[in-house]
Amino acid sequence: MTVNEIIMTITGAAIFSFLVITVWGKLVNLFGAIGGYIAAMLIPGTMWIINHGVNNHLIKQSGTVWIDMAWAVGIGVCISSKIQGGKVTKAKNTLMAVILSGIIGGYILTIK
C-alpha cells in the first residue's frame, strides 16, 4: 500500500464511523424505528458507494481477504460508548457472542 492509499482508507473508515456515531442515534430519537430505516439508507448506502462501490473507492483492498467497512463502525461504536462510560466487563457476553457468530457465520458462508 502506498501512503495515498493509507490516507484514503483511514479517511473512508473514519467518515463512515463518525456519521454512524453522531447521526444514527439522533435520527432514531427523532422518528423512532422509521428514523433507523432512514439512517440505514443514508449512511451505509452512501458510504458503501464511496468506500467500496465507485471505481476510485476510498477503502483499498491490499490483499485477497475482503475487509469490510463494517469493521470501522464496530470499533468506532465500541470506543465511543466506552468514552461515554460503558463498562467492558459487562459487555463480555455480547463480545463472546460476536466471536462465536463470526466463526459460525464465516463457516456457513464457505459452504457451497
Partner 1 sequence: MRNVKIFLRSTLGFCMAGIVLNTAWSIFVNMFGIRGGWISALILTGTLWFINHHLGIVENKKEAMFIDMGLAVGLCSLIRDSLLKGISGLVSSMPTFICVLIGGAIAGILGGYLQRQGEYKK
What residues numbered 72-91 form the site for partner 1, per CB under 8 A?
72-88, 90-91
Q: Least distance to partner 1 from the beta carbon of 74, Å?
A: 3
Contact (CB, 8 A) for 91 and 81: no
Q: Phi/psi of residue 87, each to 5°?
A: -95, 130
Site string for partner 1, 41-70 (x = CB under 8 A): x-xxxx-xx---xx----xxxxxxxxxxxx
Count of residues interacting with partner 1 (CB under 8 A):
79
Among 4, 15, 30, 56, binds partner 1 (CB under 8 A): 15
Taking the C-alpha atoms of residue 9 and residue 62, their distance in angstroms, rounded to an integer, is 10
85 sits in the region (left: phi over 0; alpha: psi -120 to 50; else beta) called left
Q: Interface with partner 1 includes 27 (CB under 8 A)?
A: no
